[in-house]
Amino acid sequence: MTDPILEVEALTKHYPIRQGIVFGRVVGTVRAVDGITFRLDRGETLALVGESGCGKSTTARLVLRLIDPTSGTVRFDGADITDLAGEQLRKLRRRMQIVFQDPFASLNPRMTVGEILEEPLIVHAIGTRTERRARVNELLGLVGLAPYHAQRYPHEFSGGQRQRVGIARALAVEPGLIVCDEPVSALDVSIQAQVVNLLKDLQARLGLSYLFIAHDLAVVKHMADRVAVMYLGQIVEIARKDDLFRDPRHPYTRTLLAAIPRPDPHRDTHRQIPGGDVPSPMNPPPGCRFHTRCPFVIDRCRIEMPALMRWSDGHLTACHRAADLPATDETTASHVAPVAARRLALYAERRAAATAATG
């Protein structure tokens, strides 16, 4: 049984592009987020991955109701929050928080860490002054910092420590959902694992749900329960993490996986990255948005946009060719062949189910 904390349906954000300074006429539209649907269960981590500019941060802002959607709905804890405003929206802010990529830019340099951590408690009128001070110490402990760090300023910390402060600030008001927008992308590789482990540890202790945004799949490997892959404002694949890494069913997901550097020197390091630039979200290709870069393109892909289809094992893919893609890696064909056979069986099942439903 699933217990969603967050349900997003057909969520869309279009930005009009105006020409002229004051009352410029609209000359185009950026389709930053274009009809995405997903859910996040309580206590779960859903990773949202995709190249820069595909709409990940816009999705984060929409979910947190920091910006208004063009259309679609966001449900949090079973309630529709799409149109909340004023006091109701302010109350909602206690229950969902964000951790940003760059803690240096998001922490006020003129405030001590103690003041930074106390601020959300003051804003939401939580506790007396003494209680708030105790809570600040508790928060520092939770993220592996010491009480004396409260007197320091953000510039006195290393990148990893600053991100710990950013996480402590998000935790201050005891939210159920934390949106992490590329929380380790700006950190040294050696520090990334520490912050990822801290987030996992906090999740286990506090029962948090995470929407975890990253631009490459390597980072989500140890973090996510499920992964949603975005391309040009749309979701092209959603699957449990292990299924996605073992049996990617969208050509774009395969290119993201192929781009992860491998340590094995005997392996062919030739990367299967498709040619061509990422098209602009102002003028996305018709049909399947990935067709201009897809090695498996057929005529249908240029005309008809594929819907996100559910396989009988729960895996979701938006690709006309998902059922007949060749094995992922020829060198491991003996391992992959059963996977491909299983996929064909699933596809047959799905078609049978569709026929039963319509017939």
Contacting residues toward ligand ADP, per CB under 6 A: 15, 30, 32, 52-58, 281
**Closest distance of CB 31 from Mg ion, Å:** 16
d(CA 148, CA 127): 21
Strands (E), 23-152: 25-41, 45-49, 71-76, 79-80, 96-99
d(CA 47, CA 76): 18
Measured from the CB atom, the residue of 61 and 343 that comes closer to ligand ADP is: 61
Region 41-80 residues binding Mg ion, contact defined as CB under 5 A: 56-57
**Collapsed DSSP state (helix, strand, coil) of residue 117:** helix
**Closest distance of CB 11 from ligand ADP, Å:** 12
Region 167-226 residues binding Mg ion, contact defined as CB under 5 A: none
Q: Specify whether the backbone of 297 is left (phi greater than 0), alpha (psi in -120 to 50) or beta.
A: beta
Burial of 326 (0-12, 13-18, 19+ CB in 10 A): exposed
**Closest distance of CB 216 from Mg ion, Å:** 13
Measured from the CB atom, the residue of 84 and 259 that comes closer to Mg ion is: 259
Measured from the CB atom, the residue of 6 and 202 that comes closer to ligand ADP is: 6
Side-chain half-sphere of 88: how many Cα atoms within 13 Å?
9
223 binding partner (options ligand ADP, Mg ion, none; Cβ < 5 to 8 Å by kind): none
Q: Which of 260, 222, 269, 211 is nearest to 58 (CA)?
A: 211
Measured from the CB atom, the residue of 56 and 321 that comes closer to ligand ADP is: 56
234 binding partner (options ligand ADP, Mg ion, none; Cβ < 5 to 8 Å by kind): none
**Closest distance of CB 346 from ligand ADP, Å:** 30
Structure tokens at 340: 């491909």
Measured from the CB atom, the residue of 57 and 163 that comes closer to Mg ion is: 57
Structure tokens at 64: 């947190």
**Closest distance of CB 326 from ligand ADP, Å:** 29
161 binding partner (options Mg ion, ligand ADP, none; Cβ < 5 to 8 Å by kind): none
**Collapsed DSSP state (helix, strand, coil) of residue 227:** strand
Which residues does 105 contact at the CB level (< 8 Å), separation at least 6?
Answer: none
> Would you give the end-to-end CA distance of the chain in angstroms?
29
Measured from the CB atom, the residue of 54 and 143 that comes closer to ligand ADP is: 54
d(CA 133, CA 119): 11
153 binding partner (options ligand ADP, Mg ion, none; Cβ < 5 to 8 Å by kind): none
Measured from the CB atom, the residue of 217 and 322 that comes closer to ligand ADP is: 217
Region 298-327 residues binding Mg ion, contact defined as CB under 5 A: none
**Closest distance of CB 266 from ligand ADP, Å:** 35
Measured from the CB atom, the residue of 58 and 328 that comes closer to Mg ion is: 58
Is there binding between residue 106 and Mg ion (CB under 5 A)? no
**Closest distance of CB 182 from ligand ADP, Å:** 8
Q: Which of 52, 50, 13 is nearest to 29 (CA)?
A: 13
**Closest distance of CB 54 from ligand ADP, Å:** 4
Measured from the CB atom, the residue of 57 and 317 that comes closer to Mg ion is: 57
53 binding partner (options Mg ion, ligand ADP, none; Cβ < 5 to 8 Å by kind): ligand ADP
Contacts 24+ apart (CB under 8 A), 116-120: 116/154, 116/165, 116/169, 117/150, 117/165, 117/168, 117/169, 117/172, 118/172, 119/169, 120/169, 120/172, 120/173
**Closest distance of CB 15 from Mg ion, Å:** 15
249 binding partner (options ligand ADP, Mg ion, none; Cβ < 5 to 8 Å by kind): none
58 binding partner (options ligand ADP, Mg ion, none; Cβ < 5 to 8 Å by kind): ligand ADP
Binding site for Mg ion (CB under 5 A): 56-57
